[in-house]
């Protein structure tokens, strides 16, 4: 059971998978160069040289960019066997491309940064706000997609709701794309919504309207119901798992993206630099917070601080 069952065109040359391929090639090239700079040899025999991997990544990226929808609506197209490109307005392409390739510029922390233009980043963020966001959750697939209300019956991958990790990974992508306000807005909406009152997150949440008595109403699966009137609740109608490891995605997003704790590899130029453990240290997240007792570099006497200047990692003693 996967997205293909909900949206048949999501196959063959899929943007998310090719974005991951670009990212892996660039990350591996960076890793090999770090090892070689320290006189260490990659253990995998027959591996391509970093320059060859970068050339291959550039070729895949060129083809990936051609899959961006020509309408500039912020979503992507899947290339079919007959050569046609079919738009699929799914959150999966958004958060995968955004998280792996959406950083404004390349760096040791974001090897694929700079792969998505500033205009594309803005359009992609607008797509989420316009077609996927709801009052306290989101849809995995837009109601404007050609497959909406036809075969997208599952709340984890279709229009009825979202797999519980997708909102967290959407926030991660928004922050990577330097859209902290949009990420924080989504987090606050979920934190103030019904979903957090039902225990640990599970496989998916389904979108309903509210009854006058506060219970579930009808399914929010039509454009006749404004997204602002759609609220997330757990539902056993589609045999979704009540509890699922997807909830760990929220912890990762809060720790890594919102608070910026992103330790570097244990070798290379930034290996011994505490400053290298902060993701976008100069980008203010829009809130003040301190996360103490972080385990880093053999000690738990570290804390991440977020304030009006950005985020920073500090050693307590």
pLDDT tens digits along 86-137: 899 999 999 999 999 999 999 888 999 999 999 999 999 999 999 999 999 9
Per the structure, how many domains does the chain have?
Answer: 2
Asked if residue 266 and residue 236 are part of one domain, the reply reads: no
Asked if residue 18 and residue 73 are part of one domain, the reply reads: yes
Dihedral over Cα of 45, 51, 55, 57: its sign: positive
Range of the domain at 60: 3-251
Asked if residue 167 and residue 271 are part of one domain, the reply reads: no
Residue where a domain stops, chosen among 233, 251, 269: 251
Asked if residue 267 and residue 236 are part of one domain, the reply reads: no
pLDDT band at 43 (very low <50, low <70, confident <90, very high): low
Calpha distance 146→3 (Å, rounded): 14
In the 8-state DSSP scheme, what is residue 276?
G
Calpha distance 166→157 (Å, rounded): 9
Residue where a domain stops, chosen among 251, 273, 307: 251
Among the listed residues 132, 32, 49, 43, the one whose alpha carbon sits nearest the alpha carbon of residue 92: 132
Asked if residue 122 and residue 63 are part of one domain, the reply reads: yes
Residue where a domain stops, chosen among 212, 234, 251: 251
CA dihedral 133, 136, 140, 146 (to 10 degrees): -50
Contact partners, residue 157, CB within 8 Å, separation at least 6: 2, 3, 5, 6, 7, 90, 92, 140, 141, 163
CA angle 103, 310, 119 (to 5 degrees): 30
Calpha distance 44→65 (Å, rounded): 30
Which range (40-49, 130-139, 247-256) has the least confidence?
40-49
Contact partners, residue 81, CB within 8 Å, separation at least 6: 12
Asked if residue 131 and residue 231 are part of one domain, the reply reads: yes
Asked if residue 274 and residue 295 are part of one domain, the reply reads: yes
Radius of gyration of the chain (CA): 21
pLDDT band at 306 (very low <50, low <70, confident <90, very high): very high
How far is C-alpha 6 from the chain's CA centre? 20
Asked if residue 200 and residue 63 are part of one domain, the reply reads: yes
| pLDDT score of 1 | 38
Asked if residue 272 and residue 178 are part of one domain, the reply reads: no
Asked if residue 287 and residue 245 are part of one domain, the reply reads: no
Number of C-beta neighbours around residue 170 at 10 A: 27
Asked if residue 152 and residue 301 are part of one domain, the reply reads: no
How far is C-alpha 132 from the chain's CA centre? 13
Flag whether pLDDT at 272 surpasses 80: no
Mean pLDDT of 201-213: 82
Mean pLDDT of 255-267: 87
Q: Which residue has the higher pLDDT, 6 or 262?
A: 262
Asked if residue 47 and residue 27 are part of one domain, the reply reads: yes
CATH value at residue 95: 1.50.10.10
């Amino acid at each position: 059971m996967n997205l293909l069952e909900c949206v048949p065109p999501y196959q063959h040359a899929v943007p998310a998978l090719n974005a991951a391929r670009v990212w892996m090639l660039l990350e591996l090239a960076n890793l090999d160069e770090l090892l070689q700079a320290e006189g260490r040899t990659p253990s995998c025999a027959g591996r391509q040289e970093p320059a060859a991997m970068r050339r291959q990544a550039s070729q895949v990226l060129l083809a990936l960019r051609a899959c961006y929808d020509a309408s500039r609506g912020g979503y992507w197209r899947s290339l079919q066997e007959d050569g046609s490109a079919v738009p699929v307005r799914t959150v999966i392409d958004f958060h995968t491309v955004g998280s792996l390739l959406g950083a404004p510029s390349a760096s040791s922390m974001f090897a694929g940064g700079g792969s998505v233009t500033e205009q594309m980043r803005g359009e992609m963020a607008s797509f989420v706000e316009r077609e996927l966001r709801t009052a306290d959750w989101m849809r995995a697939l837009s109601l404007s997609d050609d497959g909406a209300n036809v075969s997208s019956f599952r709340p984890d991958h279709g229009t009825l709701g979202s797999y519980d990790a997708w909102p967290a990974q959407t926030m991660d992508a928004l922050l990577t794309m330097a859209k902290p306000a949009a990420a924080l807005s989504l987090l606050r909406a979920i934190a103030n919504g019904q979903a957090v009152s039902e225990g640990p997150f599970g496989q998916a949440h389904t979108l309903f309207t509210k009854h006058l008595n506060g219970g579930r109403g009808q399914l929010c699966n039509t454009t006749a119901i404004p997204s602002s009137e759609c609220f997330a609740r757990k539902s056993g109608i589609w045999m979704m798992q009540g509890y699922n490891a997807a909830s760990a995605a929220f912890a990762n997003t809060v720790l890594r993206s919102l608070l910026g704790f992103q330790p570097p590899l244990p070798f290379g130029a930034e290996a011994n630099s505490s400053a290298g453990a902060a993701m976008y240290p100069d980008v203010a997240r829009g809130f003040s917070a301190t996360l103490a007792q972080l385990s880093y570099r053999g000690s738990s006497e570290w804390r991440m601080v977020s304030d009006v200047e950005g985020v920073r990692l500090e050693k307590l003693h």
